[in-house]
Amino acid sequence: MEKRAKRLVLFTDAYPYGMAESFLHNEIAFTSAAFKEIIIYPLYIPDGAREIRREVPENVVVKEPLLPFDHKEREKLFNAGIFNTAPLFFSVSEFFGRRVYKSSKKSWLFASYLLTLRSILGNRKKMKEIIADLTDAPSTAYFYWGDKSALIVPFLKKRLQKRVADCKYGIPKFVVRFHGSDLYEEAKGFLPFREMLYRDVDYAVTVTKNGEEYIRSRYRNQPKNIATYYLGSFDHNRDCPNLFPYNDTLHPDVKPGSESEPNGPGAFNILSCSNVIGIKRVELIATAMLYLEQDKELHKILEENNISHICWTHIGGGPLLEPIKQLIIEHSGQGETCNNIAYQFKGRMPHNEVIDYYQSHYIDLYLLTSSSEGLPIAIMEALSFGTPVIATDVGGIKEMIVPDPKTPFCRLLPKDITGEDIADAIRQWIKENSKKNCAIAARKEWEERWSCTANYTKFADFLKGL
């Protein structure tokens, strides 16, 4: 029997279809080098994304998804999840034991997860295909997310244990990665079947130490092993404007902008980048800007630091974007204003365009105000471009940015903050740090701790060694 797996069976959300899971796209370059073959099973293919399939390494095989439809299509999910012979009674204890029936939100989450799970298990042909891929070569099963697809782990293990004689290479190890919303129940309000999943996971891999402690302290059933392997980001630097004062020349593609642009020379540029949904709390940034817009003390601070105004740019779309724009329209410039603020809403942008934005614009501060996070890639990328960060102290963020008064490049804010608190933090940052060498400190932090070359190589070696 061979000691090490040669095949990695990888379960994703939609990757390689569409443009999401960009961090997984970064990681697979390293895992593919560690295995003879990788087989990918997406959960589903988003509407219109079948034609948007990213290139994968030559030794990666992409199978048809576990679901032949988008799991957010309720009618199809209901029909597929109800009308089959997959197990059902295991869910009764969860429903009553966790008092799911007391909350309509919990009830819907419970139903959607159960229907998704039964839709997968009820597809006997697909389950047979997965079992064959896990048993006809030395294999490791790797679930990139700790929800949805990962819920099949207990059922797969049970089937393999029943037919252990057919597993000539032994029963594969099951590895599940946990990030943010698939780990912290507070993010969604409820995550069904946690105890069932943790009981059968061989290796729970968290992306933060905070996540590791969260599992250890919260659940009765524990994974056989828990380990933390950090994510990382690629170096897209190319002599970006933030680091230009410390380099000899700018890259020829860099075009920092003109005086007439809101974020051109003279502005103090603040960037935020996220989906505009409740958990990201982008409305707090908007409220903070409205406070700063009429702040006479800030006006003096800007003058003292030769700053003409603040420009807040947000990249990202979502259901709350229009209400936030309306808030700005209704309240911006009302009363006695000092005209301190300009606004830019870029909407959704492909990841490569976000990187292009960093490479062609000066950004003085990156702002993140989420109520829950795992280990935000967005912060890593900001640091790689020499962009200082102010972020809420949630999830694993405190593991990413440790404030240092000697070389400031970040500040942590309490989770429970208001728009006025954020305004105070921005005002204080400009007053104390606008003339300090924050860009080099941010870039150095990324080089030492958040390069994907180092972090993903370690993780690929871990998987290979199972």
The model carries a pTM of: 0.84
User: By the 8 A CB rule, do 61 and 33 touch?
Assistant: no
What local confidence, expressed as pLDDT, does residue 187 receive?
A: 84
User: By the 8 A CB rule, do 23 and 53 touch?
Assistant: no
User: What's the rounded mean pLDDT across residues 101-114?
Assistant: 93
What local confidence, expressed as pLDDT, does residue 400 receive?
A: 87
Domain with CATH 3.40.50.2000 in the chain: 7-232+453-464, 241-450
Q: What class, spelled out in words, does domain 7-232+453-464 have in CATH? A: alpha beta
What local confidence, expressed as pLDDT, does residue 169 receive?
A: 85
What local confidence, expressed as pLDDT, does residue 217 receive?
A: 96
Q: What is the pLDDT of residues 83-103, one digit of tens each?
A: 999 999 999 999 999 999 999
Residue 466, pLDDT above cutoff 50: yes
206 — pLDDT class (breaks 50, 70, 90): very high
128 — alpha (psi -120 to 50), left (phi > 0) or beta?
alpha
Q: What is the pLDDT of residues 34-65, one digit of tens each?
A: 999 999 999 999 988 888 899 999 999 999 99
User: By the 8 A CB rule, do 373 and 397 touch?
Assistant: yes
d(CA 104, CA 319): 21
For the segment(s) 241-450, the CATH number from 3.40.50.2000, 3.40.50.20, 3.40.50.300, 2.130.10.10 is 3.40.50.2000
What local confidence, expressed as pLDDT, does residue 462 receive?
A: 96
- Taking the CA atoms of residue 344, residue 372, residue 378 and residue 33 in that order, the dihedral angle to the nearest 10 degrees is -150
